[in-house]
Amino acid sequence: MSFFTFLSVVGAIKQYSDADNASSQMREAGEKNAQLAELETQERLRRSRYQYNQEQGQRVVSFAKAGVDIGSGSSMAVMAEAATVAEREMAFTTEQGKRTASARRAGASAQADSMSSQGESLLISNIGKIGNENNWWGKIT
């Protein structure tokens, strides 16, 4: 094997290795992005709960100032409806966060798989080309 052939083989292996490393980095970046989406969702939920608690507190104070009995009737219905709406919003935010994280993981995985496949294709193609140029396979008709 000539020195040039050796360098060609090393170059092909290096391209494969680089593609494999890029693939791993893509997966890692996707996982970090997914974790970030999960943290953002937790923060949105925390803020939603805080806002709901603040609004419920304001309702109680308003009802009390107006002399309304908060333990019965329409005031309870208003507070129950607000709680239901808040729970729906938080459930939607939770589901949205899960889907966003899942999509980020899946997207990164698809990109990483593609990069890995490209690296394998390059390696096979380059070794095949080098083999043909150096008659490693014998006479192919």
In a domain, 134, yes or no: no
- Check: CB of residue 139 under 8 Å from CB of residue 68: no
- Check: CB of residue 122 under 8 Å from CB of residue 15: yes
Question: Residue 84's closest CA among 52, 54, 121?
Answer: 52
In a domain, 128, yes or no: no
In a domain, 57, yes or no: yes
Total number of domains constituting the chain: 1
Give tens-digit pLDDT for 51-69: 999 999 999 999 889 888 8
| pTM, 2 dp | 0.70
Task: Determine the pLDDT at residue 83.
Answer: 94
Rounded Cα–Cα distance for residues 59 and 48 (Å): 16
Task: Determine the pLDDT at residue 56.
Answer: 93
What are the residue ranges in the chain where pLDDT is below 50?
Answer: none
